[in-house]
A and B are shown apart, each in its own frame.
Chain A
Amino acid sequence: MHLYQYVPTSYHRIIANSPPSKKPFENVLLRQISFLDNLMNYRGRNVVNDVFTTTTNDLPQCPKSLINVMILLHNIMPSVSPLDGFSTGLFSVVLLFSQIQLILFADDDNAVTIMKFFQAASRWSKNHKFFLTSFGVLAGGGSSLIYALEQSIHASNDAAHVAKQKWNHSGWFDTLDHASVRRGWEVYKNVCAACHSIEYLAYREMVGVCLTEDEAKAEAAEQLIDDGPDETGAMFKRPGKLSDLLPKPYPNEEAARYANGGAYPPDLTYITQARIDGENYIFALLTGYMDPPAGVSLAENQHYNPYFPGGAIGMAQALYDEIIEYGDGTPATQSQCAKDVITFLKWCAEPEHDTRKLFAMKAFTILGVLNLVVWYLHRHYWSVLKSRKILQSPKSLFKNESNKSLHYLVLYNNYENQLREH
């Protein structure tokens, strides 16, 4: 019986529209063909490259070299278990990469549908295999190297471990506290800006984040910005505009080093990204100044901070209680100033912070809905397979020539009994 060739290409329509056949065998075969159709087009891959239906009588005709391992599928009642999704997923991976080349669907009438799989890896060219192997080795080796280097950095660091602070923007969907960003701008402007630049930030970017437009214009206008050349070719100074970047305290690195005893105050635009444990580290550093312990001698212009690698830092303690007065009346303690300026720097480094978290929330919601759809489709497509019982006959059974007859016998009769007798 060669039913497969009599079934037109649109299996679904036939199965959906035709009344159940009186012969249960035909229903079985139609379901099998529907499953094969699904699997053949599974994710656009040509997983199955040959399908033919036959009876057990015709089996000796099928190419013997292909029969390495078989899976014999019986029709049984659909079963549902929490492991179903996992096992079918595993099964599809096994189909793609394992030794399985044939799947046999058999029912009680001894009719068998055969799916011939190709072994994905055996079809690849030498170059393809070489490329994938090299890629795997390089990726694995590279990752290990990076991991090892990262570990050695920690091992060589004599700095004190920083405490984790509870930043109120650290949750998955928590925005920055913009009142704090505003206070942080006041701290930066009055304290940090004497030595540290934020050279990639423009005044316009603070509008609607921590300043109103008028405030930002006023802040910009207080600064004199280099501009030019004018018609005589000379550079000139003019009051800042919204589009100007924040002015730098020193014209270049050499000037900065000269003014700070050889130490270079780093640019603060991306500083929370540029230090391990960003905000926590900066907080520990700003609030962690202390007298050097006995036996530690510092050079001139150096200060002791246990959170700084080496302990000797060129920057003096900058934040003290009441060092500035906040516009909104918040008590300006040292830790309050540190927290606020770090929140401001966090915004400098990640100006997309709030939008990013909003979109994370949207993405999770929409992907959650899509996940339900995919879950349903998965159940739908695999329901035919999951109503079958899967048995695997060990490869060793068919290794020597004399066992070939057994191989066909297995299909005729009770599979498990045969195994037991053997």
Chain B
Amino acid sequence: MSVVKVFYQTVLRRPSRFFVVVAVGSLFFERTIDIGIENVFDRMNRGKQWKDIADKYV
């Protein structure tokens, strides 16, 4: 069985399972997106944000 077929049989086939996967998946999706993008953003702006220079003034 291909991956797509397994995915269809286990997740998509039954709406009950599908909605549970959506509900739980959205939590992980959101955290992943948040943390991932904040990391990329901080890397792009390294040395410019207050948290990068705050330790000089404490």
Interface residues of chain A, those whose CB is within 8 Å of chain B, are 168, 173-179, 182, 208-212, 215, 328, 354, 357-358, 361-362, 365-366
* Chain A positions within 8 Å of B44 at CB level: 173-174
Distance A278 CA – B25 CA, assembled complex (angstroms) = 44
Distance A246 CA – B41 CA, assembled complex (angstroms) = 32
B24: shortest Cβ distance to chain A, in Å?
17
User: Across the interface, do A361 and B41 meet the contact criterion of CB distance under 8 Å?
Assistant: yes
Distance A362 CA – B40 CA, assembled complex (angstroms) = 11
* Chain A positions within 8 Å of B38 at CB level: 358
User: Across the interface, do A362 and B57 meet the contact criterion of CB distance under 8 Å?
Assistant: no
* Chain B positions within 8 Å of A358 at CB level: 37-38, 41
User: Across the interface, do B45 and A366 meet the contact criterion of CB distance under 8 Å?
Assistant: no
User: Across the interface, do B33 and A362 meet the contact criterion of CB distance under 8 Å?
Assistant: yes
* Chain B positions within 8 Å of A361 at CB level: 37, 40-41
Measured CB to CB, the nearest residue on chain A to B54 is: A212
Q: Knowing A212-B54, A212-B58, A215-B57 touch, does A177 contact B48 (C-beta < 8 A)?
A: yes
* Chain B positions within 8 Å of A182 at CB level: 53
Interface residues of B in 12-54 (CB under 8 A from A): 33-34, 37-38, 40-41, 44-45, 48-50, 52-54
**Secondary structure of the B contact surface, majority rule:** helix
Interface residues of chain B, those whose CB is within 8 Å of chain A, are 33-34, 37-38, 40-41, 44-45, 48-50, 52-54, 56-58
* Chain B positions within 8 Å of A178 at CB level: 48-50, 52-53
The contact of A210 among B33, B48, B50, B58, by CB within 8 Å, is: B50
Told that A173-B41, A209-B50 touch, could you supply 13 new A-B pairs with CB distance under 8 A?
A: A173-B45, A174-B44, A174-B45, A174-B48, A177-B48, A178-B49, A179-B48, A182-B53, A208-B50, A354-B49, A362-B37, A365-B33, A366-B33
* Chain A positions within 8 Å of B50 at CB level: 178, 208-210
21 contacts between A and B (CB under 8 A): A168-B48, A173-B41, A173-B45, A174-B44, A176-B48, A178-B49, A182-B53, A208-B50, A209-B50, A212-B54, A212-B58, A354-B49, A357-B41, A358-B37, A358-B38, A358-B41, A361-B40, A362-B33, A362-B37, A365-B33, A365-B37
* Chain A positions within 8 Å of B48 at CB level: 168, 174-179
Distance A182 CA – B56 CA, assembled complex (angstroms) = 12
The contact of A175 among B49, B54, B58, by CB within 8 Å, is: B49
Distance A172 CA – B23 CA, assembled complex (angstroms) = 32
* Chain B positions within 8 Å of A354 at CB level: 49
Distance A173 CA – B43 CA, assembled complex (angstroms) = 11
Q: What are the 7 A-B residue pairs with the smallest beta carbon separation, nearest first?
A: A178-B50, A175-B45, A177-B48, A212-B57, A362-B37, A175-B48, A358-B41
* Chain B positions within 8 Å of A173 at CB level: 41, 44-45
Measured CB to CB, the nearest residue on chain A to B36 is: A365
A174: shortest Cβ distance to chain B, in Å?
7
B45: shortest Cβ distance to chain A, in Å?
4
* Chain A positions within 8 Å of B49 at CB level: 175, 178, 354
B13: shortest Cβ distance to chain A, in Å?
11
Measured CB to CB, the nearest residue on chain B to A177 is: B48
A199: shortest Cβ distance to chain B, in Å?
24
* Chain B positions within 8 Å of A179 at CB level: 48, 53
* Chain A positions within 8 Å of B45 at CB level: 173-175
Distance A415 CA – B2 CA, assembled complex (angstroms) = 45
A138: shortest Cβ distance to chain B, in Å?
41
A166: shortest Cβ distance to chain B, in Å?
14
User: Across the interface, do B53 and A362 meet the contact criterion of CB distance under 8 Å?
Assistant: no
